[in-house]
Amino acid sequence: MEVLYGLHPVEEAVRSGARRLDCVLLARERGDARLERLAGLCRDADVRVTLESRDQLTRLAHTDAHQGAVALVRERAFLTIEDLLAPQPIPNKIERNSEETQSQHRFFLALDGIEDPHNLGALLRSADGAGVDGVILPERRTAPVSATVAKTSAGASEHVRIARVTNLVRALEQMKQANVWVLGLDERGAPDYMDFDFRTDCVLVLGREGAGLHDLVKKTCDHLLRIPMAGRVSSLNVSVAGAVVMYEALRQRTHPAPAVPKPAAPPKPRKGLGS
Amino acid sequence: MEVLYGLHPVEEAVRSGARRLDCVLLARERGDARLERLAGLCRDADVRVTLESRDQLTRLAHTDAHQGAVALVRERAFLTIEDLLAPQPIPNKIERNSEETQSQHRFFLALDGIEDPHNLGALLRSADGAGVDGVILPERRTAPVSATVAKTSAGASEHVRIARVTNLVRALEQMKQANVWVLGLDERGAPDYMDFDFRTDCVLVLGREGAGLHDLVKKTCDHLLRIPMAGRVSSLNVSVAGAVVMYEALRQRTHPAPAVPKPAAPPKPRKGLGS
């Protein structure tokens, strides 16, 4: 049994239905419109609601940052690489906010040793925002998808499709065999991510803060991309770096350069533009 | 007197010379190559070094996350809006890593009520990375540029040009009068930031997590830009959102779309491309 807390994460868990919710516990006070809306949402979704004192919620959540909402959920079932690669990722794509942000190319995110739950949460939130088709997390040396992660991700951890793998290198090899390009992010990489053509199926691999990608993972990458650093600091925070590249991929896929005459043939995959 | 701690922030403070360093205190243990390099750096820069026990450093830094390095510095002197707008921002631009990331247009960042020191630190780090020409911080309702901020910014807070203002709206009006476009980031804004032409002098204004920009600040903006959200979550973390837009501005300025025939006339400023 796992505990989720915070208005957003609990609301998202109720909405998504992807998890077996055992029950939702709400603070007993009246007059909080957001808690009342959440109670209504639970009724509509047939989720059992119990009213508790704030102290009791704090004991369950092990923090007082629960905003009056706690959910008890069964262990999350993770996907496999095969699930991620399956042709129709129905649950996540159908109800997206905007038709415009759809793309015929898939974009995955793989995390190589992200142990800080705040970074993991922020990355899942950005992955949801950028319409990423799935996230690959290794079982070891990775923050668990905990209540803190759910909170930091503003609930995105409940929606984003996540595959958990025992061996990241093997998972990336599987991706390659499915014609997905493996792109590592590296301070000493080339080309700049801005020069890369993301209009192809690809997986972006992010490494540890400071130490970067593990050697074997780096060797598995088809390309190592770099984020240009204009000032004195040598790298961005990993969750920031990931979002910058995810959004550039989204931009290229949804906002082709205006005024460029469309080529007769489809764009070549795996082409670094090399300015 | 202010205390800085951590290898990166102390090293950056020594390198930048922008602050009056009173002295640097290093842990007494031998054999740590990074501490020895830092000691050498201090010698070269004529900064006084004292060796102390780790416990003493912990007492000074009020945390044990000092990595064996603490610096005592005089209060930071902030710039004014006039300083930021002065034609030659010499200290930051001259020694930039790469000629390529220079631009003839200026880009400023203004923060409206960012109270979380980790968000402020991450934003300063990204501002340094994206080559931002200056950051505007209101005196009130903003995290102070503390040791935590210096640490989270990986030392960028020592290098980035920061103006501190009593009234953000008035500061933005001053920017407007200097022909700098004021761009707010807002969930309900339009157009998408991807459709905006950043090849003009501009200042990006970021609001509070959750509540967004204050009303008066919002009214002062020439444009409200939006980040498209492809999934279910309605917004990104503010430090992530800021970086995504700062890097899009850098991309447009340094990587004009290839294969686009160059227009004879310079591009029009303030033109939302409106796909």
Contact A243, B244 (CB under 8 A): yes
| Cβ contact B229–A195 (<8 Å) | no
Average pLDDT along chain B = 85
Pick from A54-68, A88-102, B172-186 the range whose average pLDDT is largest. B172-186
> Is residue A98 predicted with pLDDT exceeding 90?
no
pLDDT digits (tens, 9 = 90+) for B128-156: 999 999 999 999 888 888 888 988 999 89
Q: What is the pLDDT of residue A92?
A: 45
pTM score: 0.77
Bigger pLDDT: B137 vs A93:
B137
**pLDDT tens digit sequence for A181-214:** 999 999 999 999 999 999 999 999 999 987 899 9
Q: Which of B96, B233, B258 lies nearest to residue A128, judging by beta carbons? A: B233
Chain-chain contact of A128 with B244 (C-beta, under 8 angstroms): no
Mean pLDDT value of segment A7-22: 80
The per-residue DSSP string of chain A comes to -EEEESHHHHHHHHHH--S-EEEEEEES-S--HHHHHHHHHHHHTT--EEEE-HHHHHHHHTSSTTTTEEEEEPPPPPB-HHHHHSS--HHHHTT-S-GGG--SS-EEEEESS---HHHHHHHHHHHHHTT-SEEEEESSSS----HHHHHHTTTGGGTS-EEEES-HHHHHHHHHHTT-EEEEE-TT-BSBGGGB---S-EEEEE-BTTTBS-HHHHHH-SEEEB----SS-----HHHHHHHHHHHHHHHHHSPPTTPPPPSSPPPTT-B---
Query: pLDDT tens for residues B61-92?
Result: 988 899 999 998 877 779 999 999 987 544 44
Which of A126, A131, A229 has the CB atom closest to B240's CB atom?
Answer: A126
Assess contact for B232 and A156: CB atoms under 8 A: yes
Ramachandran assignment for B186, one of left (phi > 0), alpha (psi -120 to 50 degrees), beta (any other):
beta
* Whether residue A269 has pLDDT greater than 70: no
Q: Listing from the earlier edge strand, what are the strands of the sheet with B21-27?
A: B2-5, B69-73, B21-27, B49-52
pLDDT confidence of residue A102:
54
Average pLDDT estimate for A131-148: 91
Q: Which residues in chain B touch residue A151, judged by CB atoms under 8 angstroms apart?
A: none
- Identify residue A223 by its one-letter amino acid code: H
A21-50 residue pLDDT tens: 888 999 987 678 889 899 999 988 888 898
Interval B163-176 mean pLDDT: 97
Q: Which residues, 6+ apart, have CB-to-CB distance to A143 below 8 Å?
A: A114, A115, A116, A117, A119, A120, A149
CB contact residues (below 8 A), chain A span 3-42, against chain B: 12, 15-16
Residue B173 C-alpha, separation from nearest chain A C-alpha, in angstroms: 28
Task: Decide if pLDDT at A96 tops 50.
Answer: no
Of B122, B194, B237, the CB nearest to A125: B237
Q: Where are the domains of chain B?
A: 2-73, 81-86+103-254
Question: Residues 165 to 224 of A: which have CB under 8 A from any B CB?
Answer: 192, 194-195
C-alpha to C-alpha distance for B76 and B86, rounded to whole angstroms: 20
Beta-bridge partners for A51: A26
Residues 6+ apart with CB under 8 A from A60: A3, A5, A25, A52, A66, A70, A72
Task: Please give the mean pLDDT across all residues of chain A.
Answer: 85
Give residues with Cβ within 8 angstroms of A65, minimum separation 6: A5, A6, A151
Q: Which CATH number, 3.30.1330.30, 3.30.70.3450, 1.10.220.70, 1.10.3210.10, labels domain B2-73?
A: 3.30.1330.30
pLDDT at residue A272 in the model: 42
CA distance A224 to B135: 31
Superfamily of domain A81-86+103-254: SPOUT methyltransferase, trefoil knot domain (3.40.1280.10)
Q: Is residue A95's pLDDT more than 70? A: no
The pLDDT value recorded for residue B77 is 79
